[in-house]
Amino acid sequence: MPKRRPDHIPTRTCAVCRASRPKREMLRIVRATDGSIQRDETGRLPGRGTYICQEPSCRDPERSAIAIRRALGSEAATEMLNLEVNDAAT
């Protein structure tokens, strides 16, 4: 078994802005096997996934809905698209 590289940081591409960022800084959206779209807070739910970064412009419901539809091939529920930016200052 190969050794783990301690300096390796996995990166993912934002579905909205196409910027590559560390995986831990992004929100994963998953299309489950039943076709439903949901947020994946753990990063381990089964199904097809895509990532959205923390930028406020990427969290816009209209832009993120288009990106999710393109990436996952499914419409997301409007209440799920209320993507709040995590604010550490509050």
DSSP letter at 57?
T
* Domains of the chain, residue spans: 11-79
How many residues make up the chain in this entry? Answer: 90
Residues 6+ apart with CB under 8 A from 68: 15, 29, 37, 50, 74, 76, 81
For the record, the structure tokens of 8 come out as 């390796």
**Fold of the CATH domain 11-79:** Hypothetical Cytosolic Protein; Chain: A; (3.30.1230)
Residues 6+ apart with CB under 8 A from 61: 78, 81, 82, 83
Residues 1-36: pLDDT tens digits? 677 788 999 999 999 999 999 999 999 999 999 999
pTM score = 0.82
